[in-house]
Structure 1
Amino acid sequence: MSKPRRPKRAVDGILLLDKPPGITSNAALMEVRRLFQADKAGHTGSLDPMATGMLPICLGNATKLSGQLLASDKAYRATICLGARTDSGDADGTVVESASVPAHDAAQVIAMLDASCGPQTQIPPMVSALKHEGKRLYALAREGVEIARAPRDIVIHQLKLVDWQPMQWVIDVQCSKGTYIRVLAEDLAQKVGTLAHLTGLRRRWVTPFRGTQYALSQLQAIASDGGHVALDACLLPLSSALVQWPKVVVTGPQAAQLRAGQPIAVQDSAASEVGAAQREVAVLDGEGVAISLAVWRDDGLLWPKRWLSRDEKP
């Protein structure tokens, strides 16, 4: 006889998980959801099983912000092994090609990294979660199927050499969404005339988060010692994901209008000018709690886009 399911909780917030190596992002997400007994959960951009580091987990109504966080810039520390390419681009794969490593020094690598920053295109790897006709590319790759992938626009904001060895580089990367560090490592190695794959990858931060990250083992201990009250203290509010957004504070009646799908007029001219320039704004109640995303339209009114609060009647 199967065990009865534990009841789900209405818990809203963002957890900065320090994903451990060796598990998928989805497996980490499911463990967090289980610990919090959250009714809804989602992450904001997968990390490969080998990778560690920041994986923002959105619980409850914070899942409504997942799309905004997916588009955020990210920072990584990558360890690149020179002289061999694997079928996955990292140490989890099988070496499929080897090459000699031309003599080079740290100064040459630094110059090459500086020249490799800026807008560019990148072809996603076959071993990825992208889909082709409804099927994940990594599943097709396991079947030996190779699919042509269209190049995607990315931006490499910064590349910094942290450590140099003749056969290994450690670099810090700041980049836009959609950047595959495995592919970047191969491309950088090609510029010095060799092959490469990742042997380590850690995501350091995801815009706008720089806060404390919690390991799964920490969360399990917190849950054991303090239960849900202690776990919930680890969560960031929804507004933490919106720190870079222009904000508008509304009254109770205005919030009710937005909740009903009706536009509102905002008298704060400064807020209106900022919002009109950026179109999308975060709407806060009188206590500073994020209750909605909204959009300025050409009629000068603020129109609701996505309601964030659980309150049916603001």
Structure 2
Amino acid sequence: MPRKRKGRHVTGIFLLDKGKGLSSNKALQQIKHLFEAKKAGHTGSLDPLATGVLPIFFGQATKFSRFLLEAEKTYETTIGLGVTTESGDAETKVLRKRPTNNLKRDRIESVLKKYLGKTKQIPPMFSALKVDGERLYKLARKGITVDRAPRDVEVYELNLLSLSGNEAKLFMRCSKGTYVRTLVEDIGESLGCGAHVRELRRLRVASFSIKDCYTFESILDFRKKNQLLDTKLLPIDSALSGWPKIFVPKESHTSLRHGKTVSVEGFVPFGLVTIYSKSSNLPEEFLGIGEFFANGQLSPKKMLIN
């Protein structure tokens, strides 16, 4: 018989400001332990070097975490010009040093413009992607390099915030799957001097902002003061803000939860929607997500268990 998971049933989303030096999985396990939760997951890894927004999903919220993986992300990064490293960041050995020839703002800003928009990006070897069941970074540590398929990514904003000597600070807003380290390395090559990431901070994931996040230390402090940690959780549908809402009567709830399509009149637009209960006496209740079609049919995709 499978072993029962230890812990209590916790449902909701916790916004962690991940500290430097921790893997995303290690941070997840620490928060899961503090909440004494049975089930938890995160949405999109941050490198140990990186800090910032790491949403942690508990319980039934984990059903919806993949939709946040699709969301755009915002970063601020400090890059070292004139130096390339094995992993593209400051965590590994230096491969090459080149003169920067006193780079000016206008030269850097001109190069940054070239990286706006859609492009193909080859994931770095030092990444959590798997090839034949093994993480790429584990192969990289053994000195093994394998072919990686290029991926479609998009950079929506890319701005130079400051320049001081051989160090520049950049702001970027990009699509899912964009590797900042790879982008910085490419920018460095376009500048002719190479570059690597010295610091990286994720400022936003979809609508979740760094200003709404809690550090691990603050959560420890809340617990010392006997404050209820569950009060720091956000509702599941906060991860889906901006999605079209569709309201259904109570008699449709059971059918939707059993995977059956129901009819809904007078609703647009078509496509993925959030589903809520419809009652004149009670506040709206999030039920799940579905797909609404032009023929007025609503098909459930992910539903909460009542």
Q: What is the TM-score normalised by the length of structure 2? A: 0.93
Q: CA RMSD in A?
A: 1.6
Shift of 1:300: 2.8
Counterpart CA distance in 1 for 2:284 and 2:18 is: 30
Distance in 1, Cα, partners of 2:6 & 2:45: 27
Amino acid at match of 1:116: Y
SS in 2 for 1:203: strand
**Distance in 2 between residues matched to 1:202 and 1:36, nearest whole Å:** 25
* Pair 1:66-2:65 in alignment: yes
2:232 corresponds to: 234
User: In the TM superposition, what is the alpha-carbon distance from 1:259 to its structure 2 partner?
Assistant: 1.1
1:288 to 259, 268, 284: 284
Distance 1:42 1:117 in 2: 32
Q: SS where residue 273 of structure 1 aligns?
A: coil
Corresponding position of 2:297: 301
- Identity, in percent, stands at 40
1:76/1:201 contact within 8 Å kept? yes
2:160, 2:168 within 8 Å by CA — same for their partners in 1? yes
Structure 1: distance between partners of 2:208 and 2:134: 32
Contact 1:74 1:205 in 2 (8 A): yes
**Paired position in structure 1 for 2:246:** 248
SS in 1 for 2:226: helix
Instruction: Give the distance between the partners of 1:222 and 1:260, measured in 2 at CA.
Output: 40
Q: Show structure 2 runs of 5+ residues with no match.
A: none
The residue aligned with 2:181 is: 182
8 A Cα contact 2:64 2:302, kept in partner: no
3-state SS of 1:15 partner: strand
Q: Is the 8 A contact 2:5 2:38 kept in 1?
A: no
- The Cα offsets for residues 193-243 of structure 1, whole Å up to 9 and x where unpaired, read as 11111110000000021251100011111123225xx21111110111111
Q: Output the CA distance in 2 between the equivalents of 1:200 and 1:289.
A: 41
Residues 139-288 of structure 1 mapped to structure 2, 5 A cutoff = 139-210=138-209, 212-227=212-227, 230-267=228-265, 269=266, 272-274=267-269, 276=270, 279-286=271-278, 287-288=283-284
AA matched with 1:124: P
1:27-106 superposed matches below 5 A? 27-106=26-105
Aligned counterparts of 1:13 and 1:299: Cα–Cα separation in 2: 34
**Deviation at 1:299?**
4.4
Secondary structure, in 3 states, of the residue corresponding to 2:208?
coil
1:129-161 Cα offsets, whole Å, 9 max, x none, are 011100000010111100011111100000111
- What is the number of residues matched between the two proteins? 298
Between 1:280-289 and 1:174-183, the stretch displaced more is 280-289
Tell me the distance in 2 between the aligned counterparts of 1:134 and 1:288. 43
SS of equivalent residue, structure 1 residue 179: coil
- CA distance in 1 between counterparts of 2:6 and 2:189 reads 53
Q: SS where residue 155 of structure 1 aligns? A: strand
Letter in 1 for 2:138: A
The unaligned stretches of length 5 or more in structure 1 are none
Q: Aligned equivalents of 1:171 and 1:205: distance in 2?
A: 15
Q: Distance in 2 between matches of 1:297 and 1:266?
A: 10
Q: CA deviation at 1:7?
A: 4.8
Question: Do the aligned partners of 1:18 and 1:215 also contact (CA within 8 Å) in 2?
Answer: yes
Residues 16, 213 of structure 1: 8 Å contact kept: yes
